[in-house]
């Protein structure tokens, strides 16, 4: 990847709302050239979307946990991710190599809500769980550039 494109990705990773004019100033491109570069990066799939970062506390979801999932019957179809889709408390889902099949990140209101979610996950998905509570988040979702 060209250095200018890499710089544009870095700038947008820090501020997804950065204007084409500001991108141009930071990269030495004209506003229209910056816009064309961003569009090309979107078309190539290097930029997959833009979103707002929401403080989970604003939604009263102050408890974060990671849960490792292991199916009771590994011979069953691997459709856990699809069956978790309606669970809004599950904010991330990773298919992983190793003993658990999936690692999920959840955000809930309190320990009682976590307990209820764990019961729902175990019952609906037929899995065993191993839960790790998050105490603090020194940093999260660093840009990959």
Quickly list DSSP for the chain.
--HHHHHHHHHHHH-TT--HHHHHHHHT--HHHHHHHHHHHHHTTSS--------GGGGT--EEEEEEEEES-TTS-S-HHHHHTT-TTEEEEEE-SSSSSEEEEEEESSHHHHHHHHHHHHHHHTEEEEEEE----S--S----
Query: What's the domain range around 74?
Result: 56-134
CATH number at residue 120: 3.30.70.920
Total domains present in the chain: 2
Co-location of 35 and 66 in the same domain: no
Q: What is the pLDDT of residues 64-96, one digit of tens each?
A: 999 999 999 888 888 999 999 999 999 999 999
The verdict on residue 21 lying in a domain is yes
The chain-wide mean pLDDT, for the chain, equals: 92
pLDDT surpasses 70 at 145: no
Co-location of 82 and 127 in the same domain: yes
CATH number at residue 23: 1.10.10.10
Percent of the chain with pLDDT over 90: 77
Q: What is the pLDDT of residues 14-30, one digit of tens each?
A: 889 999 999 999 999 99
The verdict on residue 141 lying in a domain is no
């Amino acid at each position: 990847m060209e250095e200018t494109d890499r710089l544009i990705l870095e700038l947008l990773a820090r501020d997804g709302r950065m204007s084409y004019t500001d991108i141009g100033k930071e990269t030495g491109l004209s506003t229209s050239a910056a816009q064309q570069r961003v569009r090309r990066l979107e078309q190539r799939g290097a930029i997959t979307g833009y979103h707002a970062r929401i403080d989970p506390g604003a939604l009263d979801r102050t408890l974060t946990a990671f849960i490792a999932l292991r199916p009771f019957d590994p011979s069953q179809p691997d459709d856990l991710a699809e069956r978790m889709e309606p669970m809004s408390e599950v904010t991330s889902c990773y298919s992983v190599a190793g003993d658990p099949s999936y690692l999920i990140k959840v955000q809930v209101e309190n320990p009682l809500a976590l307990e209820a979610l764990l019961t729902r996950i175990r019952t609906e998905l037929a899995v065993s769980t191993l839960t790790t509570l998050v105490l603090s988040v020194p940093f999260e979702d660093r840009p990959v550039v």
